[in-house]
């Protein structure tokens, strides 16, 4: 069974094609705000043009615009190919990779948010089971709250700087790591925001 994995929740863009869990095609690049332009070319450059029997997409939290771009593309492809679509969490993917590489106790996965805040969540030592709900918290407050934790993810460096000690282990969610969390319950293909989106779709805005 081939699965196309799409991840656009951070400044990184990654897509992966998996065949029975084996990686057969992969793209990962820091694109900043360039997801809309780069996503479909990255998919079509995969073996088989990226076509798969199922699609998994990162539903956040992370970049509001990036998450929506990934979900919109995944929905369109799932409809065109008539294949199932499900979501997975960005923080889950970071935590699973961190645990696979480090195994240093509980994992605090982080993703840079807006307005001086970070998205974060604490996971078990194996990185698979959440111990807290995902949240968005100001950097200084989170550094004080988690004074002795090891941080992973795109927000790790900012947290260690605010705390004044410790090592930051920077990780971006990567679609190629999806097999690490493939056994977790699937999520609906809808965005996880943790707070109000800055750039809401027009239909969500009150008339002026």
Whether residue 133 sits in one domain with residue 98: yes
Rounded to 10 degrees, the C-alpha dihedral 118/124/130/134 comes to -10
Whether residue 83 sits in one domain with residue 132: no
pTM: 0.90
pLDDT at 205: 38
pLDDT at 206: 40
Residue 208 lies inside a defined structural domain of this protein: no
Whether residue 80 sits in one domain with residue 10: yes
pLDDT at 102: 79
Whether residue 153 sits in one domain with residue 130: yes
Whether residue 85 sits in one domain with residue 179: yes
Q: Which domain holds residue 126?
A: 91-169
CA angle centred on 114, ends 108 and 117, rounded to 5°: 40
pLDDT at 195: 66
Whether residue 107 sits in one domain with residue 68: no
Whether residue 6 sits in one domain with residue 51: yes
The maximal CA–CA distance of the chain, rounded, in angstroms, is 52
Residue 67 lies inside a defined structural domain of this protein: yes
Whether residue 131 sits in one domain with residue 154: yes
Whether residue 152 sits in one domain with residue 53: no
Whether residue 101 sits in one domain with residue 165: yes
* pLDDT tens, N- to C-terminus, the chain (208 residues): 999 999 999 999 999 999 999 999 999 999 998 999 999 999 999 999 999 999 999 999 999 999 999 999 999 999 999 999 999 999 999 999 999 987 677 899 999 998 899 999 999 999 999 999 999 999 999 999 987 788 999 999 999 999 998 878 999 999 999 999 999 999 999 999 886 444 344 344 344 3
Residue 47 lies inside a defined structural domain of this protein: yes
16: domain CATH number is 3.30.420.40
Q: Is 66:14 a contact under the CB 8 Å cutoff? A: no
**Number of domains the chain contains:** 2
């Amino acid at each position: 069974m081939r699965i196309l994995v799409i991840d656009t929740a951070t400044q990184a863009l990654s897509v992966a094609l998996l065949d029975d869990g084996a990686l057969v095609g992969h793209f990962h690049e820091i694109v900043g705000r360039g997801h809309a332009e780069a996503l479909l070319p990255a998919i079509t450059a995969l073996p088989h043009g990226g076509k798969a029997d199922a699609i998994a997409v990162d539903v956040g939290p992370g970049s509001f615009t990036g998450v929506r771009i990934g979900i919109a593309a995944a929905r369109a492809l799932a409809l065109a190919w008539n294949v199932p679509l499900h979501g997975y969490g960005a923080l889950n993917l970071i935590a699973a990779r961190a645990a696979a590489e480090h195994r240093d106790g509980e994992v605090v996965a982080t993703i840079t948010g807006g307005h001086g805040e970070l998205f974060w969540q604490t996971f078990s030592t194996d990185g698979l089971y959440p111990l807290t709900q995902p949240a968005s918290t100001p950097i200084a407050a989170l550094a004080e709250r988690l004074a002795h934790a090891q941080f992973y993810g795109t927000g790790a460096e900012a947290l260690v700087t605010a705390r004044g000690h410790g090592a930051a282990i920077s990780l971006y969610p990567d679609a190629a790591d999806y097999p690490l969390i493939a056994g977790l319950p699937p999520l609906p293909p809808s965005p996880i925001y943790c707070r109000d989106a800055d750039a809401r779709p027009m239909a969500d805005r009150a008339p002026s």
